Structure 1
Amino acid sequence: MTTANRSHLKEILKHLILEPTGFTAEHAAQGLHSIMRGEASESQMGGFLTALKLRGVDGNAQVIAALAKEALDNALIPNIDRSKGGVVADIVGTGGDGWNTFNISTTSSLVAAAAGLCMTKHGSRASSSNCGSADLLESLGFELDYISPGDVGDLLHQYKFCFLFSSTFHPSMRYLAKTRRDLGFPTPFNILGPLMNPCVPDRAVVGVCAKSLGPVMAEALKILGRRNYAVVCGDENLDEISIAGDTHVWHLRESGDIDYYTINPERDFGVPTHPLTEAAGSNLEDNQRILKRLLGNTLQESDIAIRDFVLVNTGFLLYIAGKAQSMKEGAEVARHTIESGKVLELLENFAQATQALKSQELSRRAR
């Protein structure tokens, strides 16, 4: 549909409120398009998000997929030569599970990259937790604001890792930021993050914060044309693979079929279970110290559960991405990669690379 034929958010909102049975995925996409063009007022955006929530749109895979596609159509897309690095992957969760665990997906991304998997970590600063992925990496010297779309290909080629700051790659979403903060309750946009990686990974593990969202997210991914993705939810409604017990998996195969099964740390990874309370995160400073101990092989007894938490999540990602023949092998590869010191080396080298990008940009601005 051309821009000239698109409806303004005011008309879309009226349709959503007064004729909800006729509200379609295309209407939702048109509403978001209007917002990202800066055409909507704050009251209209607030009404749109509230109405979407009340109409249960976060349980509608077609609408979720349409919103994600619209967001990606307006994103800054990096040019990646996949022939240089092979499969591009991500591991990401929706957040909002209330458990406030350690930064597992961020750490798993680094471990997987050091193990040879090309990782494009799409994320932001904390919203529903004490320490977001960007917060942790910035505290370790990463200059994330200076990674542009033009830098991604070279960084991936050199380091097998790149962080894509959501605010950089989705500048049009800035219109929604204040409204979402002011509303104070989750909307369908809270579950869009894992679908909006501008690199469009070939393989991914996507965590959801409620088991009811599992089949919805898997179906949305299927509609978007993704394949070889796994949607996961810990039995505790955890948006990661649980270290405490079973995790539910909706595995989107190459064929487009969605297989459901459960996995368990002991049975499938050869890793002992731990109570989730032993894998809890705290504040930024504590998480930074834990990560340094983990990657520097100076673990304390209190860090063992977090280390094992990282092993199962990284191991499953390596299995889904085809870097390991089994989940157990994936966990062992993750363990050996951490113990080798390769992850710490990656962390330090990538931080230096982003610092160089910052220096280059500041020098350019000064000229």
Structure 2
Amino acid sequence: MSSSDSAARAWPDVLASLAAGRQLTVDQAGWAMEQVLAGAATSAQFGAFVMGLRAKGESPSEVAALVATMLEHARLLDFGPAGAPLSLDVVGTGGDQAHTVNISTMAALVCAASGVPVVKHGNRAASSSTGTADVLEELGVAIDLEPDAVVRCVQDAGIGFCFAQVHHPGLRHAGPWRRELGIPTVFNILGPLTNPGGARAALIGTSNEVLAPVMADVLAARGVRALVVRGVDGLDEVTTTGPTRVWDATGGTVQQTQLDAADLGIPRHDPSLLRGGDRVRNAQLLMAALGGGSPEGEDGDRIVAIRDAVAINAAAALAAFASARSADAGEDPPSGNLTERVATHVPVARQVLADGAAQDLLVRWAALSSGLRG
């Protein structure tokens, strides 16, 4: 039986369930994703599938099935007999329409410069001005490395970048259809949930408040010690303009809480100071923010605000990693509430920013990755 015959017989069952508001079984959700990744689905079937999920409301079990199927078809990192190191991802779903600088990218570099292995998963911009891949490419990092070269970067520089287009090639079939739809779907949250390096700690930002707890549930079930965050201003980051809602999965279950920069001694800033521009401008601001020293010139206030945002996001990511490290060692989790746990890492993040270590790491990483490009 051909894949098209199989699809013709199964799609009516999947879509009828969604139209009736019924939750898909794990097998149904996984099968539908198989069809998308194999290029066996049509644009009509894909559109009906994602819109049916959105209208019904995506459940944790459905999203988990999509994630598991994606990872089965992904080009994963292979660290050899020693296995993958305990690592961290800092990533956002995008979609907040705020066009900020690349805060998660800078936070990832700060974490790596502090000694934490980072496997960052990302893509080019979809709804923002400049995505992680765009700004890293502008800064000289080879973003499209093969998996074995990414492993070398993690081993030798302490940070590697998994370009979604390289590691999840099956998603190319859905790209044009997603652009035609023009609205966020469940596919917008799948990237942060499918790190090809198996990162067991994560700080994940999302602008989608409805799907944030679903993401946290999926991560907890997979054993990832993660913080899923959304600023009350809509940012897919820990914001400095007000409080941030947090779905804390660092303890293995999900607890909803809040984080406020003001409680960590970090001043609030006007959102306009976090706004970026094209890839050249964002790269310029990134280098200035990570370069250490005292900010000067017309961008002085902006660099101060960016550093504060990067510091709190890096500290939150380091707190998630500390929880993963404790779990990995079979130790009790770090004590204190979330604010207290994040607070212990703020001085580390600030020191890395002050001494320019993250910028130094970026320069080394760019040189290493460029040399590894085949």
Say yes or no: TM over 0.5: yes
Tell me if structure 2 keeps the 8 A contact 1:9–1:35: no
Tell me if structure 2 keeps the 8 A contact 1:246–1:264: yes
Q: Which residue identity does 2:239 align to in structure 1? A: S
Tell me if structure 2 keeps the 8 A contact 1:100–1:280: yes
Deviation at 1:214, TM superposition (A): 2.4
Tell me if structure 1 keeps the 8 A contact 2:224–2:250: yes
Aligned to 1:91: 90
Distance in 1 (CA, whole Å) between partners of 2:207 and 2:107 is 18
Aligned to 1:61: 60
1:280 pairs with one of 265, 275, 296: 275
Deviation at 1:85, TM superposition (A): 8.1
Aligned to 1:250: 247
Aligned to 1:365: none
1:153 pairs with one of 140, 151, 154: 151
What's the TM-score, normalizing by structure 2?
0.87
The answer to whether structure 1 residue 333 and structure 2 residue 332 are counterparts is no
Distance in 2 (CA, whole Å) between partners of 1:102 and 1:81 is 36
Tell me if structure 1 keeps the 8 A contact 2:153–2:369: no
Tell me if structure 1 keeps the 8 A contact 2:201–2:320: yes
Tell me if structure 2 keeps the 8 A contact 1:311–1:335: yes
Q: Unaligned stretches of 5+ in structure 2? A: 326-333, 335-339
Distance in 1 (CA, whole Å) between partners of 2:83 and 2:267 is 37
Q: Which residue identity does 2:353 align to in structure 1? A: I
Distance in 1 (CA, whole Å) between partners of 2:357 and 2:80 is 24
Distance in 2 (CA, whole Å) between partners of 1:103 and 1:133 is 7
Distance in 2 (CA, whole Å) between partners of 1:235 and 1:74 is 36
Q: Which secondary structure state, in structure 2, belongs to the residue aligned with residue 19 of structure 1?
A: helix
1:185 pairs with one of 180, 183, 186: 183
Q: How does 1:103-182 map to 2 (within 5 A)?
A: 103-145=102-144, 147-182=145-180
Distance in 2 (CA, whole Å) between partners of 1:240 and 1:38 is 33
Q: Which secondary structure state, in structure 2, belongs to the residue aligned with residue 192 of structure 1?
A: helix
With over 3 angstroms needed to count, the CA separation of the structure-2 counterparts of 1:126 and 1:206, relative to structure 1, is same
Distance in 2 (CA, whole Å) between partners of 1:309 and 1:292 is 15
Q: Which secondary structure state, in structure 1, belongs to the residue aligned with residue 90 of structure 2?
A: strand
Distance in 1 (CA, whole Å) between partners of 2:23 and 2:3 is 18
Aligned to 1:350: 365
Deviation at 1:109, TM superposition (A): 0.6
Q: Which secondary structure state, in structure 1, belongs to the residue aligned with residue 130 of structure 2?
A: coil
Q: Unaligned stretches of 5+ in structure 1? A: 362-367
Q: Which moved more, 1:161-170 or 1:17-26?
A: 17-26
Aligned to 2:255: 259
Render the CA deviation track for 1:65-98: whole Å, top value 9, x for unaligned. Answer: 1111110110011112696985201011111122
Deviation at 1:301, TM superposition (A): 2.1
With over 3 angstroms needed to count, the CA separation of the structure-2 counterparts of 1:253 and 1:76, relative to structure 1, is same
Percent identity over paired residues = 31
Aligned to 1:27: 28
Aligned to 1:100: 99
Deviation at 1:230, TM superposition (A): 1.3
Distance in 2 (CA, whole Å) between partners of 1:189 and 1:293 is 33
Q: Which moved more, 1:97-106 or 1:6-15?
A: 6-15
Deviation at 1:352, TM superposition (A): 0.9
Deviation at 1:11, TM superposition (A): 3.5
With over 3 angstroms needed to count, the CA separation of the structure-2 counterparts of 1:5 and 1:168, relative to structure 1, is closer
With over 3 angstroms needed to count, the CA separation of the structure-2 counterparts of 1:86 and 1:40, relative to structure 1, is closer
Tell me if structure 2 keeps the 8 A contact 1:15–1:23: no
Q: How does 1:32-47 map to 2 (within 5 A)?
A: 32-47=33-48
Tell me if structure 1 keeps the 8 A contact 2:229–2:246: yes
Tell me if structure 1 keeps the 8 A contact 2:130–2:278: yes
With over 3 angstroms needed to count, the CA separation of the structure-2 counterparts of 1:137 and 1:15, relative to structure 1, is same
With over 3 angstroms needed to count, the CA separation of the structure-2 counterparts of 1:26 and 1:263, relative to structure 1, is same
With over 3 angstroms needed to count, the CA separation of the structure-2 counterparts of 1:85 and 1:227, relative to structure 1, is closer
Distance in 1 (CA, whole Å) between partners of 2:351 and 2:120 is 22
Distance in 2 (CA, whole Å) between partners of 1:22 and 1:132 is 33
What's the TM-score, normalizing by structure 1?
0.89
The number of residues matched between the two structures is 351
The answer to whether structure 1 residue 239 and structure 2 residue 254 are counterparts is no
Q: Which residue identity does 1:77 align to in structure 2? A: L
Q: Which secondary structure state, in structure 1, belongs to the residue aligned with residue 344 of structure 2?
A: helix
Aligned to 1:50: 51
Render the CA deviation track for 1:34-59: whole Å, top value 9, x for unaligned. Answer: 121222233332332333333333xx
With over 3 angstroms needed to count, the CA separation of the structure-2 counterparts of 1:53 and 1:9, relative to structure 1, is farther
Q: Which residue identity does 1:350 align to in structure 2? A: W
Q: Which moved more, 1:135-144 or 1:226-235?
A: 226-235
